Amino acid sequence: MGTWDAKLCTCSPSETFCILVALFPMCYPIFQGYAVSKSIHEPWYIACLCPLFLCCIGAAVNRRKIRNKYLIDGNACEDCMTHCFCSLCAVCQEYAEVKSKERL
């Protein structure tokens, strides 16, 4: 198993994405759904529903999908805590990870 290539509190490689997440924090389920859909090739609107209705737990489920696809160490509790306390940073990290792996 591996680790996240993107650090939790970094805005690279997409500063624009991080600015959007910071300016529109209530839209983070859409941003996270976009990252997940690019990773596991499911429609973005399906990936948005989980964090939209289940908040941190739903976002953690999406984070787990990314971890599983890229064989990243972690567990459900860590995913949930990351989204409970640092959701915006987590979404940026997930997007950066997917972007680097999928060459978006």
Instruction: From 71, 4, 24, select the one nearest 32 (Cα to Cα).
Output: 24
User: Is residue 104 over pLDDT 60?
Assistant: no
Mean pLDDT of the chain: 79
Q: What is the pTM of this model?
A: 0.77
Q: Kindly report, residue by residue over 25-75, the tens digit of the pLDDT.
A: 767 677 777 777 777 777 766 666 666 666 777 788 888 988 998 999 999
Query: Once rounded to an integer, what is the mean pLDDT over residues 86-92?
Result: 84
> How far apart (Å, rounded) are the C-alpha atoms in residues 54 and 81?
14
Task: Express each pLDDT in 16-25 by its tens digit.
Answer: 877 887 887 7
